[in-house]
Structure 1
Amino acid sequence: MPPPGVCLSIRNERNRRSGRGSATNPDKFLDQDFDQLHQGFFRDGFRFIDKMFPPEWRSIGNGILHPNDLERIKWRRPGTMVKDPYFIADGVSRFDIRQGSLGNCWFLASIGALTFKEDIKKQIIPEGQSFKKDYAGIFHFRFWRFGKWVDVVIDDKLPTIDGRLIFVYSKNPNEFWAALMEKAYAKVCGSYADMNAGTVSEAMMDFTGGIHMTFKLDEAPPDLWDIMYRAAMSESLLACGTPPGQSAANTVLPNGIVQGHAYTITRLMQVMSNGGLVRLVRLLNPWGHGEWKGDWSDKSSKWQTVSLEDRTNCLSIADDGEFWMSMEDFCKNYSDMDICSLSHDFLDGSTDCHWPYQFHEGRWVTGATAGGCSNYKESFWTNPQYHIEVETIKGECAKDKGLKNLLVSLMQKSDKRNRRLASNFYIGFSVFSVPPEYKEREGKFPAEFFMREPVASTKKYLNAREVMEFFSLAPGEYIIVPSTFKPNETASFILAILSKTDSHLLDENSIDSLKITKPITTENMNDNDSRVTIFQKYTDQYEELDAEQLQRLLNENLLQGKSPGFGLDTCRSMVTLMDLSVTGHLNHNEFLRLWDRVVRCREIFYRTDTSRTGELSLSELRNAVIAAGIQMSDDMLNLMALRYGVSRGSLTLDSFVSLILRLECMSKIFRNLSDGNGIYLQEKEVTNVVNQTLLLCLYLLCHNKLRRQKYLSK
């Protein structure tokens, strides 16, 4: 049985702090350790079979093969297909790959770009893998997935029909790195079918972990060629796509270009032709055949107008899917161009200008932090807020005044195991300038702050995995608010910032997860005599209350028959929380402390229940928690909403009382047991804490304490 979700969350946070998930220390996808598995199977003389991605029809998925073809599939290891298999034969080349019966040209176009970048290639394809030395039928690849690197283990059983690979294959039938890499990515996506259709930006980000930029070629900036050229000279992947046709099929136009198809940009070149400078783009069709037939194609007469040296260096007359075209024809025939890189120093021409990279992970939760776009004035402010300080550009970079200096990327994360089941929301973000009167404000900015117009924003909300914008912002302080278009849409996201200066990004509401600012007083909130009278009416012979007696007392005296009343489980929890003597009963003093708190919580509950439904909606919860004297981060509010919200998305009075009491109790436990950095509990002590307060609260406090330490250490 796997550990509980709370345990996994704490463990994942600790792993991140220790560097797990980084490029040098990737996380183990599905907890499979390649080194341990490889050593064990090689030692025992067996061939690995991956039970997490088994060689059977469910790993293929539905909708890409005819049922009759599915029945014909045989999963075979390369050694049974050819006599002398190689993982890599004569290096990794863009010409190695050939697309199979799967609509994943977007993935293969990204692989084509990958083959030019040695450092990125080594990160994705770990060295030392072979069918010769220490072979045990197991291989692994690494991909960046939504904020962390993962190491993906696979067996080498590949789907075949009549002895031939049905998906990607290599030009050399004895080479299998491309087919195995495709299988590893299919495992990450959920199945081969989950790779059917996509965008090159998705695969390129998964190959680099970098921020990607998309340029719509019908809106191309005047310096697009310069940007592309500098990117090609750096550690960047470049690809592009053609506009779709009238059908979903990849129709080949008379000029040789395929509609709705992804291509790799493999080179850029400037040549002199008839006394004029011509800018050329070289592209690769992942089919491995099918080329452009216009100017500067393989057989174009234009090549006779350039020098012999340029013609020798550039021209290759072969139907290998690679061809040249002019920059003008490129912009006419392709709809968009993508660049993805970890180093974005190519964004301007100065080698002295660097673009630091920062990112934060966040979450929109229905009723709590999913406020929708700025059209929804009352709830927009509840979205996550990020504070950024843009500093003055100095040195050589200052010469480029007026140029764009901030790139903001918003990516929504998928929590679905199968890629095809993930549904994207329309997402975007707005940037607001912070005026002087708000400079020293801490925590979340209120609704009235966002009544002003943003200084920058996404042009429109897109139903996409990622949206990005490139801005020019004056030095100063800003608030960035990412959101879905509509309120109450739950999703996780990554907000990434590239700035031309050492700008500082801070999640406005995640540093202090929980702070009791005004504890609920216990000093004579009601007449003492009446409280004593009520207590004595329900006690046993020892003048104590158990949970059942407390339930009757609260329902008859506090709610006076109103429905719903306090449940027995809630009353058991309250007894446990307030029972200092650990007897399972409340004595006189313990009851008075509890009564005052419950009465105060009831007053807050009905005052903040503005909808007059008798329940707190999750949007009303924030105000109720503030009124109770508790400062709560977005992270904690999200988890409270998920933990305490009933199916209707609201909290009853007994749930609200239970929540406030547990938060107060857990805060005291943490303050009393903490050494200033965290707390250590033995197994028996953990059990006691869990019984009293629920592990959820402990997780929230520890989790955000770790986040605070991580932020302060930067």
Structure 2
Amino acid sequence: MGCSASVEAGVPTWPSRSRCCAGADQPVNSASASTNKTVITPRNWTSLTENIQVLKRRMQQEDPKLFVDAQFPPRDISLGTKQEKYANKKIVWKRPHELSLHPVLIADGTSRHDMKQGDLNDCWFLSTLSLVAEKPQLISKIIQKDLNFSTNDYSGMFHCRFWQFGSWTDVFVDDLLPTLDGNLLFARSSDPNEFWVSLVEKAYAKLNKSYAALEFGFEADAYTDLTGGLAEWYTPSALRENDFYLMRAAFQCGAVIGCLSVDRQDGSGNKKTATGMVPNHSYVVTGAAEVPYIDVAVKLVRMRNPWGDTEWQGEWCDGGDEWKRVPESIKRELEVTSKDDGEFWMSFSDFRREYSNMIICNMSPDFDHDGISDKAAYQLLLRGRWEARANAGGWLECDSFHMNPQYQLVVHSDAHVERRYNGRHPVVIALLQVFRRGVTRPGEENDLYAIGFEIFQLSGSPSLASLQPFDNQFFQTMDPLMPENQETYAKYRETSGRFFLFPGRYLLVPSTHEPNQSRDYVLRLFSVGKIECGCVGNVVQPSSS
């Protein structure tokens, strides 16, 4: 069906877990009087990917007034199910110049300290955004700086980009933000004059159809949407003492590391434990260091709470007695403060005990487990669809497994790669189901499916061959190869597996766990050496909806 794929070196990259459910209940920035400006909605507003210059020209031709987004209107409907919470309250949508005398999109660059969570349980998104904010090369892909509040070109329209299932998607929203009693309702910047945090959150809410759709999610999904990179999962309690160095190397080389705290809710209704930890809440790693303490070097990890306050109160907390034995020069180097800004240090041993899940996110996988992202010289992307009663055969134990899409994977011989990896090639395979929060497609469930894939070794030389789809007898007699780290049929948007493969031919079969579940999918393959992939059979083209 013409689905073979091979990407040569140098081609740019497309690039049991719990959802975070801890929200913030805290005051927000004060606001000024409500708007009485005339606003307009452009006609023929149909595509998120239209060029912004075309949109601006269209608006200026129709009406010179400020833009209002008809697709994501400044009304309660855009709050989604959150509107029920505010049913008896007056939500007023205001533009930045109505909330600040000197509004700016970005003040003095973006920083992890800009982020303050509002009355929305989207810490999973904001914690990841806070780390992406530290990386100019990443944040510049997301925020398109078309919005200037102080020029004649000001249109009231904000332009943002997110990576969605293989390509970057442009999202345009107006800059009207929900307020309650004069305060911003949801995420905002720590600087009351800065609005990029609120507007990126609004654009992401539009992408997912409502603000409420952003509640309770996975940091891995946020990282993929913000960068197009790959997120791999780890369990902190299973980390060894020396894994601290892997984590430190990953962070120093630009990886984004997010963590979910252990769910220690005791039924008392308290939003934090005695040590200051918020149960089942997303945090991010913002540093790692070894600190001389008495006669030993103590491994420390710096964490940040996206609330912008509420910190760890155990050993090595801000103002803790342990810091009294650390030289002032080292404390300055580590930026140790006593501010309640949501950022704190803790020991690596406490880190392993207090967090249940950790994701390390890179633009390319760490093939050799040294904590450093390696260049994946060859990257493939394949799109397809499982269609009920056609090619959605369920997992390997189903008699209909052979009906699933089948791909031929070829790993080419490369002496340099094989010397480095003991005769084999590291290959990371990621399967992504096309599911957007708050969006239900016809014939699909409004939830994630449990997805996974199997890979089988085939005979023959390492080259693409003309093959017929393999039948049920083949799969009953062949054992799949086991990856290092794949979680079998996980109910996540993306699941990945790491393999070390000898040169040769392989059969790759993606599937849902249950048969007859319809959904589009994206397969991503990363390799140091040359790989190719082609269709064997049962491949259905993705839907256009």
Q: Say whether 1:253 aligns with 2:279.
A: no
Q: Say whether 1:85 aligns with 2:103.
A: yes
Does the 8 Å contact 2:250/2:372 carry over to 1?
Answer: no
Aligned to 2:473: 448
Aligned to 1:100: 118
1:385-438, Cα deviation, whole Å (9 max, x unpaired)? 122123445437734438982222111112676379731111111111113499
Aligned to 1:435: 459
Is the alpha carbon distance of 1:229 and 1:389 closer, same or farther for their aligned partners in structure 2, counting shifts above 3 Å? Answer: farther
Does the 8 Å contact 2:381/2:522 carry over to 1?
Answer: yes
Aligned to 2:430: 409
Aligned to 1:470: 498
Is the alpha carbon distance of 1:87 and 1:362 closer, same or farther for their aligned partners in structure 2, counting shifts above 3 Å? Answer: same
Does the 8 Å contact 2:121/2:214 carry over to 1?
Answer: yes
Which TM-score applies when normalising by structure 2?
A: 0.83
Instruction: Indicate which of 298, 304, 320 corresponds to 2:324.
Output: 304
Does the 8 Å contact 2:157/2:172 carry over to 1?
Answer: yes
Aligned to 2:72: 53
Aligned to 2:540: 635
Aligned to 1:496: 524
Q: Distance in 1 between matches of 2:266 and 2:440?
A: 23
Q: Distance in 1 between matches of 2:148 and 2:469?
A: 54
Does the 8 Å contact 1:191/1:418 carry over to 2?
Answer: no
SS in 1 for 2:224: helix
Q: Distance in 2 between matches of 1:383 and 1:189?
A: 29
Does the 8 Å contact 1:353/1:397 carry over to 2?
Answer: no
Aligned to 1:370: 392
Matches within 5 A, 1:254-403: 254-314=274-334, 315-344=336-365, 347-349=368-370, 354-355=375-376, 356-377=378-399, 379-392=400-413, 394-395=415-416, 398-401=419-422
Is the alpha carbon distance of 1:455 and 1:292 closer, same or farther for their aligned partners in structure 2, counting shifts above 3 Å? Answer: same
Q: Distance in 2 between matches of 1:396 and 1:222?
A: 30
2:309 is aligned with what amino acid?
Answer: H
Is the alpha carbon distance of 1:216 and 1:505 closer, same or farther for their aligned partners in structure 2, counting shifts above 3 Å? Answer: farther
Does the 8 Å contact 1:49/1:155 carry over to 2?
Answer: yes
Q: Distance in 1 between matches of 2:295 and 2:458?
A: 54
Q: Distance in 2 between matches of 1:223 and 1:490?
A: 44
Q: CA deviation at 1:32?
A: 4.3
Q: Please tell me the root mean square deviation across aligned C-alpha atoms, in Å.
A: 3.0
Q: Distance in 2 between matches of 1:37 and 1:95?
A: 33
Instruction: Indicate which of 448, 451, 456 corresponds to 1:424.
Output: 448
Instruction: Indicate which of 137, 148, 154 corresponds to 1:119.
Output: 137
Higher helix share: 1
Q: Distance in 2 between matches of 1:225 and 1:351?
A: 13
Does the 8 Å contact 1:227/1:347 carry over to 2?
Answer: no
Once structures 1 and 2 are overlaid, which stretch shifts more, 267-276 or 342-351?
342-351
Matches within 5 A, 1:563-582: none
Q: More relative contact order in 1 or in 2 (CA 8 Å, sep 6+)?
A: 2
Q: Distance in 1 between matches of 2:237 and 2:189?
A: 35
Is the alpha carbon distance of 1:453 and 1:260 closer, same or farther for their aligned partners in structure 2, counting shifts above 3 Å? Answer: same
2:447 is aligned with what amino acid?
Answer: S
Matches within 5 A, 1:162-173: 162-173=181-192
1:591-624, Cα deviation, whole Å (9 max, x unpaired)? xxxxxxxxxxxxxxxxxxxxxxxxxxxxxxxxxx
SS in 1 for 2:517: coil
2:319 is aligned with what amino acid?
Answer: K
Q: Distance in 2 between matches of 1:81 and 1:450?
A: 63
Aligned residues: 491
Is the alpha carbon distance of 1:397 and 1:83 closer, same or farther for their aligned partners in structure 2, counting shifts above 3 Å? Answer: farther
SS in 2 for 1:486: coil
Aligned to 1:508: 536
Q: Distance in 2 between matches of 1:429 and 1:163?
A: 51
Once structures 1 and 2 are overlaid, which stretch shifts more, 414-423 or 126-135?
414-423
Does the 8 Å contact 1:393/1:500 carry over to 2?
Answer: no
SS in 2 for 1:61: helix
Matches within 5 A, 1:67-216: 67-69=86-88, 71-133=89-151, 134-216=153-235
Q: Distance in 1 between matches of 2:498 and 2:270?
A: 32
Does the 8 Å contact 1:236/1:340 carry over to 2?
Answer: yes
1:419-463, Cα deviation, whole Å (9 max, x unpaired)? 797311111111111134998552422222212111225442222
Does the 8 Å contact 1:424/1:465 carry over to 2?
Answer: yes
Is the alpha carbon distance of 1:250 and 1:383 closer, same or farther for their aligned partners in structure 2, counting shifts above 3 Å? Answer: farther
SS in 2 for 1:207: helix
Identity percentage over the alignment?
Answer: 33
Gaps of 5+ in 2: 1-10, 16-45
Is the alpha carbon distance of 1:397 and 1:344 closer, same or farther for their aligned partners in structure 2, counting shifts above 3 Å? Answer: farther
Q: Distance in 1 between matches of 2:322 and 2:425?
A: 37
Is the alpha carbon distance of 1:289 and 1:397 closer, same or farther for their aligned partners in structure 2, counting shifts above 3 Å? Answer: farther
Is the alpha carbon distance of 1:137 and 1:346 closer, same or farther for their aligned partners in structure 2, counting shifts above 3 Å? Answer: farther
Q: Distance in 2 between matches of 1:278 and 1:402?
A: 38
2:453 is aligned with what amino acid?
Answer: F
Is the alpha carbon distance of 1:350 and 1:256 closer, same or farther for their aligned partners in structure 2, counting shifts above 3 Å? Answer: closer
1:666-707, Cα deviation, whole Å (9 max, x unpaired)? xxxxxxxxxxxxxxxxxxxxxxxxxxxxxxxxx9xxxxxxxx
Does the 8 Å contact 2:391/2:539 carry over to 1?
Answer: yes
Is the alpha carbon distance of 1:157 and 1:255 closer, same or farther for their aligned partners in structure 2, counting shifts above 3 Å? Answer: same
SS in 2 for 1:497: strand
1:55-78, Cα deviation, whole Å (9 max, x unpaired)? 111111114652434x40111111
Q: Distance in 2 between matches of 1:124 and 1:250?
A: 36
Q: Distance in 2 between matches of 1:252 and 1:312?
A: 29
Q: Distance in 1 between matches of 2:372 and 2:530?
A: 16
Which TM-score applies when normalising by structure 1?
A: 0.64
Q: Say whether 1:487 aligns with 2:515.
A: yes
Does the 8 Å contact 1:404/1:470 carry over to 2?
Answer: no
Q: Distance in 2 between matches of 1:404 and 1:396?
A: 6
SS in 1 for 2:65: coil
Does the 8 Å contact 1:350/1:396 carry over to 2?
Answer: no
Higher strand share: 2
SS in 2 for 1:634: coil
Does the 8 Å contact 1:250/1:259 carry over to 2?
Answer: no
Is the alpha carbon distance of 1:411 and 1:228 closer, same or farther for their aligned partners in structure 2, counting shifts above 3 Å? Answer: same
1:382 is aligned with what amino acid?
Answer: M
1:33-74, Cα deviation, whole Å (9 max, x unpaired)? 4222224445753101111111111111114652434x4011
Does the 8 Å contact 2:105/2:194 carry over to 1?
Answer: yes
Q: Distance in 2 between matches of 1:161 and 1:351?
A: 45
Q: Distance in 1 between matches of 2:214 and 2:191?
A: 24
